[in-house]
Amino acid sequence: MLTTRYVTGSPNWIDLGTPDLEGARAFYGGLFGWTFQSAGPEAGGYGMFQLNDKTVAGGMAVPPEQGGSAFTVYFQSPDADATAERVRTGGGTVEFDPMDVFDLGRMALLADPAGVAFGIWQPGTNKGLDVVDEPGALCWMELYTPDTGSALGFYRSVLGWEEYGVPIPGGDTYTTVNPAGTGPDDMFGGLVPLEADPVEAADGPYWLPYFEVTDTNATVARAEELGGTVRLAPIDLEDVGRIAKLADPYGARFAVIKSVAPQEK
């Protein structure tokens, strides 16, 4: 599960790049109850989405010519420069070289060998998201990739991840990942072969963030009311929860889940 006890390799930040920040603020405010707090004029329009005064994501306006609307997941690094170099030698791409963000931390934007974007965050005074794994906050993520074996090798070499296979109905195995030196209780995401999911295959590989909700059906209905798109209608996953896949009005893809509580399993 995700936790704010961040360690090397764990997801510690997520942000949204969107061509319409005001529209995104209205959408996610109506959907999750998020508010937006600007980081100030010196931050170039970047700001924080907050829930009950706790940061759950970052966000900024991105010109359409710089790419479509999307969430970017960041993983903790003790040395952003060294991690970026491992990305290069591992066959990935450094999209934006490591840079300091005031005294908050040091970050870089990268892509794995399949072209999937992600970021790294070397904490300074900002250790990461204030809240995860609660309603309205990030709780899981999935990498849709054409080759799960190659992806595992890449992220293992770059971020030190370990993997754990979880049996799923039908005799298949769902590959989960966790930070080095931890265990299955610290898994934070899964890897899915792109061709195994027709919903995702058409749009190519990427990291899909999941946000916890209290009622999947109600959240989906609200997303449609706010101008979002249902990419996958609500379905139940045994011993996991009820999920749905959505996109905001500007095309950013994400998923929601009402997780099965431990005592319900």
Q: Which of 85-89, 116-120, 161-165, 200-204 has the lowest mean pLDDT?
A: 200-204
Query: What architecture is domain 11-123?
Result: Roll (3.10)
Share of the chain above pLDDT 70, in %: 98
> Rounded to two decimals, what is the model's pTM?
0.96
What's the rounded mean pLDDT across residues 99-121?
97
List the 47-51 sheet strands across, edge first: 35-38, 47-51, 54-61, 11-18, 70-76, 117-123, 105-111, 93-101
pLDDT in tens, 171-196: 788 999 999 999 889 999 999 999 99
Q: Is the dihedral of CA 141, 150, 68, 55 positive or negative?
A: positive
SS3 label, residue 12: strand
Same topology between domain 11-123 and domain 138-264: yes
Tokens describing residue 213: 């909700």
Q: Where do the domains of the chain lie?
A: 11-123, 138-264
- Return the CATH number of the domain spanning residue range 138-264: 3.10.180.10
